[in-house]
Amino acid sequence: MLDKILQDLGLSEKEAKVYLACLELGESAPAEIAKHAGINRATCYVIAEKLARDGLMSQREKGKKTYFIAENPEQLLRLLRKQESEIKQKEQEFQKYLPELKNLFDTAGERPKVRFFEGKEGIKAIREDFLKSKDKKIEEVYSDDNVDSLFLEEELTEVREMRKRKQVKLRGIYVRKEGKLKEVPLRDLSELRFIPYHKFPIDSDILFYEDKVAMFSFKGKLVGAIIENKAISDTLRSIFNLAWESAEKYDKSAD
């Protein structure tokens, strides 16, 4: 207990043991202190000399032998005050460079927030996140086959009903191995364009909403992530818009 308190004050584990041993024994030779502290004699001597330099112990010679005695524990307060003074000096020194460091931080730009998800429940969490958003329009690139295989019809219906209640509009680019969908769910809220799977083998889902980009993979282990960053979101949305224009010819040729 006491050795832990001394360590909290800045002493090492062995320094604390040597000081406490000397405090209990009174004036003692290094061999006796080492035995009481449970450490090597040579190590004990080196530590005792350091503690003496720090003002926590004193030493004196008796004949050819050196003896150490612990100083009053109030000396530990002096040690604390010294540490406090050193910390204040370091703080003052640091304050000189803080503006420069803050400038580096500010010029680095906005830091993206990234959250990771796993499993079907993780994918559901991503979908719930975009359904909770205030954005009334979303963009999506997805595999219709994979969505149908992963989610039950009642789960898909629940998402559509929520979109309908909130009037969330969707622009989507999708792949489907059997070709273009004959019926588009929520037609009045959805504008979809089909692209052929054999030419564009997409097995992931990418969602754009607010300043976020959500992605999850359907192949192998189900994993996903949400990146929240305006610059990244705007850039990927621009790529989506480019793909949206290119998808028009595939969608029309599939009719």
pLDDT in the model for residue 209: 92
For the stretch 9-50, pLDDT in tens is: 788 889 888 888 888 988 888 899 889 989 888 998 899 898
144 and 247 in one domain?
A: yes
168 and 238 in one domain?
A: yes
**Into how many domains does the chain fold?**
3
Has residue 70 got a pLDDT over 90?
no
232 and 157 in one domain?
A: yes
Has residue 114 got a pLDDT over 80?
yes
Has residue 92 got a pLDDT over 70?
yes
Instruction: Choose one of 25, 57, 73: the last residue of a domain.
Output: 73
124 and 35 in one domain?
A: no
242 and 156 in one domain?
A: yes
CATH number assigned to the domain comprising residue 200? 3.30.870.10
CATH number assigned to the domain comprising residue 16? 1.10.10.10
222 and 152 in one domain?
A: yes
CB burial of 238-254 (b: ≥16 within 10 Å; e: otherwise) equals eebeeebeebeebbeee
144 and 38 in one domain?
A: no
pLDDT in the model for residue 110: 63
163 and 63 in one domain?
A: no
202 and 245 in one domain?
A: yes
43 and 13 in one domain?
A: yes
Domain carrying residue 86: 79-109
When pLDDT is cut at 50, 70 and 90, the band that residue 111 belongs to is low
* DSSP secondary structure code for residue 198 in this structure: T
194 and 127 in one domain?
A: yes
211 and 144 in one domain?
A: yes
